[in-house]
Amino acid sequence: MALANADSSPEHVPRPRRLRLDLTTPILLGLPLAWLAAFFLVPIAIVAAYSFDVYSLNPGPHGFTLTAWHDFLHSSVYLRLFWKSVKLSLTVSAIIVLLAYPLAYYLALSGTKRKYILLLLLIAPFLTSYLLRVLAWKVILGNQGAVNTFLFWTGLRSPDHPLSQLLYSRFAVMLVLGYIWLPFVALPIFVSLESLDRRLLEAASDLGASRLQAFRRVTLPLSLPGVVAAFLFVFIPTLGEFVTPSLVGGASGYLYGNQIVDLFSTGFPDWEIGSVLSIFLLGVVAILTVVFARFLQPGEVTVD
Amino acid sequence: MDKHEGTEKRLSREQLLRLTAAAGGATLLGSRFDTAQAALERLGAESGRLQVLDWPGYGNDGGQAMFAQYVKTHPSNKPQFTQMTSESDALGRIHAGLKPDLFRPYVGWVKYFATSGLVQPWDTKQISNFKHLNPFMVKAGQYNGKQYGIPDDWGFDAILYRSDKVHPKARSWGLLFDERYKGKIAWYDDLEMLVMAGLYLGFPRPYRQSDSELKKSQKLLMSKKHLVRLIWSSETNLWEAFGSGDLWIAYAWPNDWVQMKKKKLPVVYMRPKEKPIAWVGMFMLMKGSKRPHLAHAYVNAWSSARSGKWLEDNYGYGHANTLARPSSSALLRALQLTNPKAVTEPNAHLDRDIPRRALYARMWEEVKAS
């Protein structure tokens, strides 16, 4: 009421500060939105246009058609390859979340004074190039690599019979992806565990919960948003990954991302099908992100 | 200020002297003065670095060998390279706005590019080394009687294998499908694999397979893919895997054989009984090039016997200049350099236009995805 009186006062003059705020907000929001529209939404729209043959790289008549989408959705080859990539990404994401959780738990909750030094060590590989980190595995996994050399030295394998499926295989892709993405997974889990209210753990202990029960009913539910975020951090990029498979995957490690790249740039340009594969991947990732985002809300502590 | 003053101001002293000498030489040879003047104006108008879209490795020597003559005579217009990884990649780059003066697709793409409106024919009179180029390769660079492609590097697709590990049952492409060597075989990442499968299956026109033939070729490749360790697209990747013993058999080029020999590996480069596939690199001049005369000079340098010998000695490829001879007699024999018809029937299947290239490409992609 007092505010209404103040507004109706004949002496009230709109303050210039409010006007500035009104202009500042659209400017602050407008620039990133314009950037997003120009360099994200418009390119996606162009790729979508290629998928419907509205645009075409090849000369000759072309116009809106669903042919490429029809070919894709009726091709067991492409869908099987997509499923192969989904399975591989899910497996890699699940395994490294399981591996990263104890690591993040130790760093966040053990109370060690060196936790930030250890954290720095964990992310140290990021100081080198992604490509170098992948290529280093070729040195380790090859027929004459570190692993096989060790096996020869111990006499477990003879030089004529090295472990040859280490490199250029699906296993190699999973191993290298796991190595590359492990720090990405550990960080969000670490942040979520470190922000945990320790008094809840003390309360659980005071109420007679064992350490395992406290973990299961307090720590895990409250750190779940970090776990889900970490899982997404790995799953989304590895689903479209093509660098690692092309370097260490060989014929059996060929993934959906490689197929997209190849359709655009090798053999004969097939930008229509390549665009369909890209838009399909984008759609699936968007849907999964929305679904997983529901789990990003803070969990609740369970009470019997 | 008249037109000539403007031209002179854009030229360095060195260029001016060279062009004056060229114009003088033309006059002495009896050409009309205005012809020499026109040549001077054209060359004077061509400024900046020559833009070359080429495969990785072909700009590596810094102008010391393969195009040394060009760099020597046009020091202000040294080539600037953009790398292409395939003709498809080049096409994508050109459509995205890249404006090279020239690029190098392979012989199977001559018709495609000649009819695309992207390239223009060469004026072979400006290429003094043209007369030394292999006539069969020259012909393969023509479309509708015009010279759209100037042949340069060439070689074969055949089979490379480790003679200490592999014992072929026959001299055949079938070695790439041999169950005994599961996990030790490399294929090449290109739709030529369908052509090779067609050759193996005995189809009469492997570049023009019918629907049912194509399906059989694709089925063969899909059914044998489990034997394959690597489908290579980069030679360095192949050399690394072959050199370390991860691979014993590969669909390969002559250069790969040369490189493995350098590593002291016991290797054989086998010509299959179904005949190897031959390929020829073709320089093509872009329509709308701002430096067409410089492009001619560059291609002329590449076409020299000296460049050819260097290419053969260092890359293990053949060269279209028939006077070029490698130092290695083994390479001379492997490439059959004394046989001018080495790349043509009945010796080899020279790569050519594939009318249904898009279908071949998609079917090959399906093989990889399977």
Question: In whole angstroms, how large is the CA radius of gyration of chain A?
Answer: 26
B157 token code pair: 């697709």
Span B136-150, pLDDT tens digits:
999 999 999 999 999
Span B2-43, pLDDT tens digits:
334 333 334 444 454 454 444 444 444 444 445 455 555 555
Query: Do A265 and B89 lie within an 8 Å CB cutoff?
Result: yes
Q: Residue A85 has what pLDDT?
A: 95
Average pLDDT over residues A242-256: 93
Residues B100 and B206 grouped into a single domain: no
Collapse the DSSP code of A62 into the 3-class scheme (helix H, G, I; strand E, B; otherwise coil) and give the result.
Answer: coil
Q: Please, what is the average pLDDT of chain A?
A: 85
Residues B105 and B147 grouped into a single domain: yes
Residues B168 and B146 grouped into a single domain: no
**B177 touching A (Cβ < 8 Å):** no
> B10 lies in which domain range?
5-45
Distance from the Cα of B196 to chain A's closest Cα (Å) equals 15
Residue A25 confidence (pLDDT) above 90: no
**A270 touching B (Cβ < 8 Å):** yes
Q: Residue B11 has what pLDDT?
A: 42
Span B241-257, pLDDT tens digits:
999 889 999 999 988 99
Query: Do A265 and B92 lie within an 8 Å CB cutoff?
Result: yes
Residues B253 and B357 grouped into a single domain: yes
More confident residue, A231 or A7: A231
Average pLDDT over residues A219-246: 91
**A144 touching B (Cβ < 8 Å):** yes
Separation CA B35–CA A164 (nearest Å)? 67
Q: From B13, B29, B45, give the residue that closes a domain.
A: B45
Residue A76 confidence (pLDDT) above 70: yes
Separation CA A285–CA A276 (nearest Å)? 14
Task: Report which of B315, B345, B361 is spatially closest to residue B154, judged by C-alpha positions.
Answer: B315
Nearest to B369 among A81, A252, A267 (CB): A81
**B357 touching A (Cβ < 8 Å):** yes
Q: Residue B96 has what pLDDT?
A: 84
Q: Residue A145 has what pLDDT?
A: 87
Q: For position B318, which CATH number holds?
A: 3.40.190.10
Cβ(A85)–Cβ(A256) below 8 Å: yes
Chain B residues with CB inside 8 Å of A251's CB?
A: 187, 225, 228-231, 368
Backbone angles phi, psi at B291, to 5 degrees: -135, 55
**A162 touching B (Cβ < 8 Å):** yes
Residue B344 confidence (pLDDT) above 80: yes
Q: Residue B13 has what pLDDT?
A: 45
Chain A residues with CB inside 8 Å of B225's CB?
A: 251
Span B173-218, pLDDT tens digits:
999 999 999 999 999 999 999 999 999 999 999 999 999 999 999 9
Residues B273 and B260 grouped into a single domain: yes
B60 token code pair: 């590596």
Average pLDDT over residues A154-178: 90
Residues B142 and B159 grouped into a single domain: no
Residues B56 and B98 grouped into a single domain: yes
**A70 touching B (Cβ < 8 Å):** no
**A266 touching B (Cβ < 8 Å):** yes
| Predicted TM-score of the model (pTM) | 0.82
Q: Is residue B342 part of a domain?
A: no
Average pLDDT over residues B298-325: 92
Chain A residues with CB inside 8 Å of B370's CB?
A: 77, 80-81
Relative to beta strand B228-232, strand B119-120 is unpaired
Residue A8 confidence (pLDDT) above 80: no
Q: Residue B299 has what pLDDT?
A: 96
Cβ(B303)–Cβ(B130) below 8 Å: yes
Residue B364 confidence (pLDDT) above 80: yes
Instruction: Tell me the CA distances in angstroms from B72 to A258, B13, B62, B63, B75, one per residue in order.
Output: 42, 16, 12, 9, 6
Query: Do A268 and B369 lie within an 8 Å CB cutoff?
Result: no
Residue A11 confidence (pLDDT) above 60: no
Span B120-137, pLDDT tens digits:
999 999 999 999 999 999
Give me the residues of A, 246-265, that contact B with CB < 8 A. Answer: 250-252, 254, 258-259, 262-265
Nearest to B244 among A77, A144, A267 (CB): A144
Q: What is the dihedral of CA A184, A185, A189, A190, to 10 degrees?
A: -50
Q: Which CATH number fits domain A76-296: 1.10.3720.10, 1.10.10.10, 3.60.20.30, 2.60.450.10?
A: 1.10.3720.10
Span A221-230, pLDDT tens digits:
999 888 988 9
**A60 touching B (Cβ < 8 Å):** no
Distance from the Cα of A269 to chain B's closest Cα (Å) equals 5
Collapse the DSSP code of B243 into the 3-class scheme (helix H, G, I; strand E, B; otherwise coil) and give the result.
Answer: helix
A297: pLDDT confidence band, cut at 50, 70 and 90? low
**B24 touching A (Cβ < 8 Å):** no
Q: Is residue B343 part of a domain?
A: no
Chain B residues with CB inside 8 Å of A168's CB?
A: 229-230, 241, 246
**B88 touching A (Cβ < 8 Å):** yes
Share of chain A above pLDDT 70, in %: 89
First CA to last CA across chain A, in angstroms? 48
Collapse the DSSP code of B161 into the 3-class scheme (helix H, G, I; strand E, B; otherwise coil) and give the result.
Answer: strand
Residue B258 confidence (pLDDT) above 50: yes
Residues B146 and B162 grouped into a single domain: no
Q: Residue B43 has what pLDDT?
A: 59
| Listed range (A17-26, A267-276, B122-131, B139-148) with the worst mean pLDDT | A17-26
| Number of independent structural domains in chain B | 3
Q: Please, what is the average pLDDT of chain B?
A: 87
Residues B208 and B319 grouped into a single domain: no
Query: Do A259 and B368 lie within an 8 Å CB cutoff?
Result: yes
Residues B93 and B236 grouped into a single domain: no
- The CA-based diameter of chain B, rounded to the nearest angstrom, is 79
Q: Is residue B223 part of a domain?
A: yes
Chain B residues with CB inside 8 Å of A58's CB?
A: 358
Average pLDDT over residues B45-74: 85
Cβ contacts below 8 Å, chain A against chain B, sum to 98
**A78 touching B (Cβ < 8 Å):** yes
Domain ranges in chain A?
76-296
Average pLDDT over residues A218-240: 90
Q: Is residue B225 part of a domain?
A: yes
Greatest mean pLDDT range, A183-197, B20-34, B145-159: B145-159
Q: Quote ipTM for the complex.
A: 0.79
| Listed range (A153-167, B109-123, B278-292) with the worst mean pLDDT | A153-167
Query: Do B190 and A266 lie within an 8 Å CB cutoff?
Result: yes
Residues B89 and B60 grouped into a single domain: yes
Residue A300 confidence (pLDDT) above 60: no
Residues B159 and B271 grouped into a single domain: yes
